[in-house]
A and B are shown apart, each in its own frame.
Chain A
Amino acid sequence: MNWNDHLPALLLAIPLFGAFVAPVASPFGRTTRNALLASFSFLTLLVSLFLLRHTLTNGIAVYVMGGESFDLTLPLGMKLPVRIIMEVDAFSAFMAVCGSIASFAGALFSMNYMEKFTGLGRFVSLYFLLTVGMLGMMITGDMFNFFVFLEISSIASIGLIAFWRDRPEAVEASIKYMLISQVSSMVFLIAAGALYGKYNVLNMAAMGALIKPGTLEKLALVFLVGTLAMKCGAFPLHMWLPDAYAEAPSGVSCLLVAVSQASLYGLMRVCFSLYGVNLGGAFIPWAMIVMGLSSMFFGVAMAVVQHDIKRLIGYHSVSQVGYMLLGLGVGMLVLTDARGMAEYGFTAIKGGIFHIFNYTMYKALLFLAAGAVYYTTGKRDLNELGGLARRMPFTTGMFVIAAAAISGLPPFNGFVSKLLIYESAFAVHPALTVVALVTSVLTLASFVKVFQTAFLGPERSAFATVREVPTAMLFGMGVLTLAVLVATLFPSWTLSYLVEPAARALVDQAGYVGAVMGGGL
């Protein structure tokens, strides 16, 4: 019995335990609560890193919940799995690492950021529940279990977005998100139910083994893709995203970035591992590409006219999600075409996956930097900000790193992933790359604007007493800066040791199916 085998369960158990301990520990005072927040999210991060190492060396990890043995996927000679199975391949573990880095950074940041407010026991509780929901979506191998984690994460994020419930805008953003997420999760459940009705399994791997192209499957696929794209903030229904990100407390926005990536993960899991070669033509890949391009363009077009710093960053999230949809859509387009896959499809998938990591890190960092500005000045309107570089040198430095990364300036990690996406999308059609490049230029323009108005310029008398933010907040931002810098300084190491195994696991449908269906007695 190796403790490494239980990592998938621990990854969920630790933050879940934190969520239920928080209300009990909270009356013991601020220090206890902060220690709980920091230590449990750090433990989650450690477990996710161990899990990544485990999947990179031992291949796919399966964990049967409530079975006689953790790896007994098909007990008593059954042909189909009956229990809830966690299935962690390199892609899931990669996503879990991204998510738990964001969760850890947001937790460190929130310790000081939220200290002026009451109800922090509930805040910590919801924060951990949101982490559980996100990680659960990333590692589960079961359709209904995915729905349950989807609901856990949306309930927790609704509570956190409306945490400042005395602000009308926060409540409005929260209710908007609630309507979208409720409708989408119900539609998700209908699609999962329809597939269950036809194939009698809920396990994604078993379903992937049984699935055949047909009308019902196509309908279910459209439902699944539509709802998950909605939840990750793709173009036609992206309106909730900037509102929710802007109105949530900054530590939470940082985690919400990773949570929307969990929906993107679900989307990829459905398309690559569940349907895979049965995707049925080029409709879904092209839908994904068109969705990606329009999210990219409309997101950035809305972002350049914003003057609320957090809303501006929120609109950039819409446009960044477009890059991942573009990259993964291009990869999906050539899923059954071995030559196209080798020539540009795999590069596109690598680019998309690397962009997930980069996006989570620098976007979370941008939200934290915007939160730091709000913490010290109490302002979010760019017209009222200015000259903060002298007062807050560390925040400014980290903001510059994140802004350069998101704009895809050459040495930074954003450039690497964007370049992979550009060159592979060019092989499909040059117009795709043109849109992506224009988006990148507009992104740079809008961040130059933010940097110039908020941090440069003459000092304002209103900010004469502004100081650098407390150390814990700097540490929270520092964690993300470190992640951005590692990906920046060692792009080939990151690509070959983190991104490529994840991309390989994503396109390997047979491996994903075999890990569950091949085992057993």
Chain B
Amino acid sequence: MIANAPFLLVGLLFLGGMIAIFMEKNLVKIAIAISVIGSSVNLFLVALGYRNGGTVPIHYMAGENTVMVLPTPQAMTLTAIVIALATTALLLSLIMLVYRHYGTLDIDEIRRLRG
């Protein structure tokens, strides 16, 4: 049970983020929700690679036989974090531009493109 706790948290964060994206009207809050989803995905990847009682995946001595956590999901997570940084920066700068043009962040009022 306790070993599954990270996955439960992943599910909660993901659902929370998804609900926020659909329910919230403020663009900044939607941006936060997207970041929350991104974090849940990162947590998911790291939790996938964890082995009970595992150490860092580096061999210190030849012939050593210890339980190690998987390095690949960690590398993936690092990449995903870097990508998330770029997209968050881009998203926030777009939100800034939207605010400059429309004077509001309410998505119900930002709709010149209809039909």
A residues at B contact (CB < 8 Å):
144, 147-148, 151, 154-155, 158-159, 162, 165, 168-169, 171-176, 178-179, 182-183, 186, 189-190, 193, 196-197, 202, 243, 246-247, 302, 305-306
Cα-based distance from A179 to B112 in the complex (angstroms): 17
B69 is an interface residue with CB less than 8 A from chain A: no
Question: Quick one: closest A residue to B70, CB to CB?
Answer: A200
By CB atoms of chain A within 10 A, which of B72, B90, B98, B110 has the most?
B90
Contact A193 B95 (CB under 8 A): no
Contact B90 A178 (CB under 8 A): yes
Cα-based distance from A457 to B78 in the complex (angstroms): 59
Cα-based distance from A193 to B48 in the complex (angstroms): 8
Partner of A243, one of B18, B98, B102, B113: B113
Partner of B44, one of A176, A193, A246: A193
Assuming A178-B90, A202-B72, what are 20 further A-B pairs, CB within 8 angstroms?
A147-B80, A148-B83, A155-B86, A155-B87, A159-B90, A168-B101, A169-B112, A172-B102, A174-B94, A175-B98, A175-B110, A183-B18, A183-B34, A186-B37, A186-B38, A189-B41, A193-B41, A193-B44, A302-B115, A306-B115
Chain B residues with CB under 8 A of A182:
34, 38, 87, 91
Q: How far is the CB of B16 from chain A (nearest CB, A)?
A: 13
- Sample of 29 A–B contacts (CB below 8 Å): A147-B80, A148-B83, A151-B83, A155-B87, A171-B98, A171-B101, A172-B98, A172-B110, A172-B111, A172-B112, A173-B113, A175-B27, A175-B94, A175-B95, A175-B98, A175-B110, A176-B113, A178-B87, A179-B21, A179-B30, A182-B34, A182-B87, A183-B37, A186-B37, A190-B14, A202-B72, A243-B113, A246-B113, A306-B115
Chain B residues with CB under 8 A of A193:
41, 44-45, 48, 73, 76
Q: How far is the CB of A460 from chain B (nearest CB, A)?
A: 26
Q: How far is the CB of B23 from chain A (nearest CB, A)?
A: 14
Cα-based distance from A177 to B83 in the complex (angstroms): 17
Contact A144 B91 (CB under 8 A): no
Q: How far is the CB of B40 from chain A (nearest CB, A)?
A: 8
Q: How far is the CB of B50 from chain A (nearest CB, A)?
A: 11
Question: Quick one: closest A residue to B39, CB to CB?
Answer: A186
B55 is an interface residue with CB less than 8 A from chain A: no
Cα-based distance from A345 to B112 in the complex (angstroms): 43
Question: Quick one: closest A residue to B79, CB to CB?
Answer: A148
Question: Quick one: closest A residue to B47, CB to CB?
Answer: A197
> Which 3 A-B pairs have CB atoms at the shortest separation, nearest pair first?
A168-B101, A197-B48, A171-B97
Chain B residues with CB under 8 A of A196:
48, 72-73
Q: How far is the CB of A188 from chain B (nearest CB, A)?
A: 10
Cα-based distance from A193 to B111 in the complex (angstroms): 36
Contact B41 A190 (CB under 8 A): yes
Contact B87 A171 (CB under 8 A): no
Contact B91 A178 (CB under 8 A): yes
Chain B residues with CB under 8 A of A197:
48
Chain B residues touching A, range: 20 to 34
Question: Quick one: closest B residue to A242, CB to CB?
Answer: B113
Contact B41 A171 (CB under 8 A): no
Chain A residues with CB under 8 A of B98:
168, 171-172, 175
Provide the B10-37 mask, 1 if CB < 8 A to any CB of A, else 0: 0000100010010000010010001001
Partner of A165, one of B97, B102, B110, B113: B97
Cα-based distance from A178 to B91 in the complex (angstroms): 7
Partner of A151, one of B87, B97, B115: B87
Contact B113 A172 (CB under 8 A): yes
Chain B residues with CB under 8 A of A148:
79, 83
Cα-based distance from A243 to B83 in the complex (angstroms): 25
Cα-based distance from A197 to B4 in the complex (angstroms): 14
Contact B34 A162 (CB under 8 A): no
Q: How far is the CB of A493 from chain B (nearest CB, A)?
A: 42
Contact A183 B21 (CB under 8 A): yes
Cα-based distance from A44 to B14 in the complex (angstroms): 39
Contact A189 B113 (CB under 8 A): no
Contact A305 B38 (CB under 8 A): no
Contact B94 A305 (CB under 8 A): no
Cα-based distance from A176 to B21 in the complex (angstroms): 12
Cα-based distance from A519 to B46 in the complex (angstroms): 31
Partner of A178, one of B14, B38, B94, B113: B94
Provide the B80-113 mask, 1 if CB < 8 A to any CB of A, else 0: 1001001100110011011001100000001111
Q: How far is the CB of B78 from chain A (nearest CB, A)?
A: 12
- Given known contacts A169-B112, A197-B48, is B80 in contact with A158 (CB within 8 Å)? no
Chain A residues with CB under 8 A of B76:
144, 193
Q: How far is the CB of A312 from chain B (nearest CB, A)?
A: 12
Contact A171 B94 (CB under 8 A): yes
Chain B residues with CB under 8 A of A179:
21, 30, 34
By CB atoms of chain A within 10 A, which of B76, B79, B111, B113 has the most?
B113
Cα-based distance from A428 to B38 in the complex (angstroms): 41
Question: Quick one: closest B residue to A174, CB to CB?
Answer: B94
Cα-based distance from A296 to B27 in the complex (angstroms): 31
Cα-based distance from A44 to B21 in the complex (angstroms): 39
Contact B94 A162 (CB under 8 A): yes
- Given known contacts A148-B83, A175-B94, A190-B44, is B34 in contact with A168 (CB within 8 Å)? no
